[in-house]
Amino acid sequence: MDKPEVSIIIPAYNEALALGDVIKNTKSLYPDFEIIVINDGSTDDTVSIAIDAGAIVYSHPYNIGNGAAIKSGIRIASGTILVFMDGDGQHDPEDIGKLLEYLPEFDMVVGARPKGHQASWGRAFGNRIYNWLASYVAKFPVQDLTSGFRAVKSDIARNFLYLLPNTYSYPTTLTLGVLRSGRSLKYVVIDAKLRKTGKSKIKIFRDGVKFFMIITKICALYSPLRIFLPVSLL
């Protein structure tokens, strides 16, 4: 059997309520794509629902983190193009086609959420700060630094595997790594939705500090003068 050109990687931690529909809708649109669910230590019916819906399932023995699930997916995926999407229904499978339209012209294509999508003003304000800081560091207009809905060439994703954290801040690291290493990136506006079920597992203050530290770390690695030269001139 030929290897699939596209592998869709869905990290999942207790997403039983929405995951089945996400997989079924995705399979109906892209029957030839490989769909991989990384079960990150779920305690509900995530695994059985994913299997029944027709996905390949790989399980962590306990909850390690969203970024760790993405890394496991990158390691086992067969496709030459990888698509990352959430299992909670926020990402519309039809938008996968929008991302793939710009590959292989670009190295990575990211789904940008429209303004006003954020569930709270605090998160919206925080994302504006992250986008501004990342744009300054990368010398590129970063529209949605924390979006987890993206398509990337598999070889590039594997090149940055060692840099990716185990947390929700992996999109930040991957975006800045791609840009500062001279790779190309394209943003595409998507039809993002609020979570259909459950609550977001991102904590604004805890993960916000991690996002900031990762931006600083990537800047120190790829472009230290963008941060440290202005500070030295104070």
Nearest-angstrom CA–CA distance, 168 and 92: 20
Report CA torsion sign: 24, 27, 29, 34: positive
For the record, the structure tokens of 72 come out as: 């496991």
**pTM of the predicted protein model:** 0.86
Q: Is the pLDDT of residue 72 over 90?
A: yes
Indicate if the pLDDT at residue 112 is higher than 50.
yes
**pLDDT at residue number 234:** 52
Instruction: Please tell me which of 14-28, 107-121, 188-202 the model is most confident about, judged by mean pLDDT.
Output: 14-28
> Helix, strand or coil for residue 6?
strand
pLDDT for 119 beyond 60: no
Domains of the chain: 6-232 (3.90.550.10)
Written as six digits, the tokens of 91 are: 């990402």
- Give the C-alpha separation, 27 to 213, whole Å: 37
Residue 147 tokens read as: 């979006």
Of 66-70, 72-76, 141-145, 218-222, the poorest mean pLDDT is in 218-222
What confidence category does residue 1 fall into, taking pLDDT thresholds of 50, 70 and 90?
A: very low
d(CA 183, CA 177): 9
Going by the DSSP 8-state scheme, the letter that residue 144 receives in this structure is -
Q: Where do runs of H (alpha helix) occur along the chain?
A: 16-29, 46-53, 66-76, 96-100, 121-138, 154-159, 170-180, 204-222, 225-232
Whether residue 88 contacts residue 13, with contact meaning beta carbons closer than 8 Å, is answered with: no
The pLDDT confidence band at residue 61, using thresholds 50, 70 and 90, is: very high
* Alpha carbons 12 and 55: distance in angstroms, whole number: 12
Q: Which is higher by pLDDT, 211 or 86?
A: 86
